[in-house]
Amino acid sequence: MAKYTITYACGHTAEIQLYGKYNERERKIAYYKTIDCPECQANNIANKAASKGYAELLGSDKQVRWANAIRDAKINEVNEFASKVNRNQDILERVIDDLQAETSAAWWIEHRNSTVENLIKTKL
């Protein structure tokens, strides 16, 4: 166990505690230098979501980070489904709008394994 001061790719620094063999710790340090800090990652994801018209998610930082990835993937799945279906486009557009407006990070996490059809049913 050792503490290291890491400078992330975004330029921010943080003190992290690493465990394991020396080679494994060095590998992790090298990896951390190639990514943005957790705060910058969260801001980038939030900015991307806002640019797509998604509502801001509410929950813990960890929930919001996880839910943002789930939400983006699920909304893309529903959009793809809607592009293949020739009926009920007005209903599908309303469902997509409701999904984009969903603010609960917990809701997205709870529905992470839902099929497109089940997501649509929950929003009807």
Burial of 46 (C-beta count, 10 Å sphere; 0-12/13-18/19+): middle
Tell me the percentage of the chain whose pLDDT exceeds 90. 65
pLDDT 10s digits, 105-121: 999 999 999 999 999 99
Q: Please report which confidence band the pLDDT of residue 39 belongs to, taking 50, 70 and 90 as the band edges.
A: confident
Q: Give the residue carrying structure tokens 């990896």.
A: 31
Sorted by sequence, the CB contacts under 8 Å of residue 56 that are 6+ apart come out as: 46, 49, 50, 103
Predicted pLDDT of residue 116: 92
Q: Give the residue carrying structure tokens 């007005």.
A: 90
Mean pLDDT over each residue of the chain, to the nearest integer? 91
- How far is residue 106's CA from residue 18's CA, in Å, rounded to a whole number? 30
Token digits for 69?
């990835």
Predicted pLDDT of residue 47: 87
